[in-house]
Amino acid sequence: MFANNLDTLLVYLKGVGPKRAELLQKELGISTYEQLLEHYPFRYIDRTRFYKVNELNPDLPLVQVIGRITGKETIGEKHKKRIVAKFSDETGTMDLVWFQSLKWVEDNVLRGKAYIAFGKPNFFNSGFSISHPDLENYPRQAGITGNVTLQPIYNTSEKMKKGFLDSKGVQKMIQQIIELHINEVRETLPSYILEKYKLISKKEAIIHIHFPANTAMLQHAERRLKFEELFFIQLQLLHNKQLRSLKFKGALFNTVGNRVNTFYNTMLPFDLTNAQKRVIKEVRIDTQRGSQMNRLIQGDVGSGKTVVALMSMLLANDNGYQACMMAPTEILARQHYQSLVDLLKGELVNVAVLTGNTTKKQRVTLHEDLESGKIDILVGTHALIEDKVKFKNLGLVVIDEQHRFGVEQRAKLWRKNIIPPHILVMTATPIPRTLAMTLYGDLDVSVIDELPAGRKPIETKHLFEGQRMRMFGFMKQEIAKGRQVYVVYPLIKESEKLDLLNLEAGIEQMRYQFPLPDFQISIVHGQMPNADKQYEMQRFIDGKAQIMVATTVIEVGVNVPNASVMIIENAERFGLSQLHQLRGRVGRGAEQSFCILMSGNKLSANSKLRLET
């Protein structure tokens, strides 16, 4: 990416030295010029506006003022010692105050000199002051930082700050590298791609990501660097995919036999949607090529992914192969097992389930039946990847909620057969890692984009804290209809840093609004023993509790068709993928389902956009 000079160790950069170089290595993993240039700012402070002294008010978060030092004195002694400088413009005078680095201030902040002072204005003793202001010479010096109006802010650590290496220090180091070596940055993309996608050069992108002249140039830099990163990810994944198709042969599923036909013609309780038929056809084409299938099925809750997976597994059985389905939690694995048994009416194939709670005696029998080929479909959790679990002839692996399993875990399933099994991944939410693989070439993508007849889309509402009583009333209406409700909180204990409702406070509020004996509340959180967690979940599944108050442990793992309402407290604190996963807990029955996003009255622009997505 860069020329050799940019491989130089940071210890050789002027003003860095061994201690700072060691800090950067330990805290950020950065040791060369190149790595520091690729340490991009995580946010920017707008420095376009200048204030006059008489325009200041304490409610302003940050201000910059052009003025001149008209006086300077040292006040106090020992630990109370400070330097106060008078800073004036044509409208008035304010104080600049330093409690630390007093020697530097004494030598470098000069009377009569013009500066730009930047910081948080405070009002004290009938006047304004800024403590430890960021000072720049005025007028600004020529060069890459001379016309910068957006100040970069870099990730650092407490140890770095104690070593006098804060964001400003990192910025100065990057500035020095750019001024000395920017012409050594080599272009990484072909010119025809730059022209086609209207991208700026790598050199310009590096300059403007660190020292943007304006918002437009920052956007150009971000777009160029994001494009480059994703471009090379895509190339690598496409290369891997091509190698895999050549290297890994796949089982041939050439026959649509008795199991698929019998299930489709006599057992299927509803007509397949056109989307389901299309995806099944895509699976059939994949499994007739002789190379390993790696396909993602993405579809909303209730779109019929499980039926598509079952018909794919029956296709494997028709061709003499076993299939397995791996789920992220024991409850979900057992629910999948029960769903398959119910759909198959206990006929056609032998379905078994294996989880962490399967007894030793049951395991011995199951392992024997699996290795002999008596078991056609095995459903389970991570227990499926244990070395003791051996298939006679595994031809298809179905993975539910794929982001819960690591790459190495899936690879263990591959190695359970001489010919790697076909891989079918199911998800209701394309989360970032899944998106990376699907959009950039590692998995082929199938989308089930229609719901079965009679199935209603989940209705999502956003309510603010002031509308809480309206939310309680709605919950009571749904419970009166015989429905059940999830209420999810983001925390277990009160956070010192975030003003969030937590589960414990939520339970008390729910008990007050929904008292015994009329209402039963099930409580589930990650700090509970597994046995207690399973018991509380089962109470809700069996309909003995109308309300489940929980943390995000229910993000995956519960399938209750009668639950029609999902309440997400402090929804602005959840990521988009979590919100989709939680919403996916409802909408599993024929009734209209609802997801209510509760939030504080004040939201950031990003949070508001996330809740509206």
Does residue 378 contact residue 400 with C-beta atoms inside 8 Å?
Answer: no
Q: What is the mean pLDDT of each run of 10 residues along the chain (613 residues)?
A: 74 90 91 94 89 91 93 88 94 93 90 93 90 87 66 88 85 92 93 96 96 92 94 82 75 92 90 94 93 86 88 96 90 87 88 88 92 95 82 92 61 71 82 54 79 80 90 95 91 44 77 92 83 87 92 66 91 80 79 90 70 67
The full 3-state SS of 199-253, as one line of letters, equals CCCHHHHHHHHHCCCCHHHHHHHHHHHHHHHHHHHHHHHHHHHHHHHHHCECCCC
Tell me, yes or no, whether 416 and 496 share the same domain. no
Tell me, yes or no, whether 346 and 465 share the same domain. no
Tell me, yes or no, whether 346 and 431 share the same domain. yes
Tell me, yes or no, whether 388 and 521 share the same domain. no
Tell me, yes or no, whether 53 and 123 share the same domain. yes
Tell me, yes or no, whether 23 and 121 share the same domain. no
Among 448, 469, 503, the domain boundary falls at 448
Quote the DSSP letter at residue 191.
Answer: H
Q: Is residue 225 part of a domain?
A: no
Query: What pTM does this model have?
Result: 0.64
Q: Is residue 503 part of a domain?
A: yes
pLDDT reported for residue 265:
92
Q: Is residue 563 part of a domain?
A: yes
d(C-alpha 92, C-alpha 449), whole Å = 65
For residue 552, the SS3 value is helix
d(C-alpha 281, C-alpha 315), whole Å = 11
Q: Is residue 238 part of a domain?
A: no
Among 448, 472, 502, the domain boundary falls at 448
**What CATH number should be reported for the domain holding residue 105?**
2.40.50.140
Tell me, yes or no, whether 309 and 442 share the same domain. yes
Q: Is residue 291 part of a domain?
A: yes
pLDDT reported for residue 163:
79
Tell me, yes or no, whether 392 and 524 share the same domain. no
Tell me, yes or no, whether 389 and 419 share the same domain. yes
Q: Is residue 417 part of a domain?
A: yes
Q: Is residue 218 part of a domain?
A: no
Quote the DSSP letter at residue 121.
Answer: E
Among 184, 202, 233, the domain boundary falls at 184
pLDDT reported for residue 56:
92
What is the residue range of 604's domain?
459-612
For residue 528, the SS3 value is coil
d(C-alpha 104, C-alpha 382), whole Å = 60
Q: Is residue 241 part of a domain?
A: no
d(C-alpha 213, C-alpha 150), whole Å = 7
pLDDT reported for residue 270:
83
Tell me, yes or no, whether 398 and 417 share the same domain. yes
- The count of domains in the chain is 4
CA distances, 211 to each of 44, 45, 49, 157 (Å): 10, 12, 17, 22
pLDDT reported for residue 436:
53
pLDDT reported for residue 235:
85
For the chain, the C-alpha Rg in angstroms (whole number) is 31
Tell me, yes or no, whether 276 and 398 share the same domain. yes
Tell me, yes or no, whether 63 and 99 share the same domain. yes
**What CATH number should be reported for the domain holding residue 578?**
3.40.50.300
d(C-alpha 16, C-alpha 34), whole Å = 15
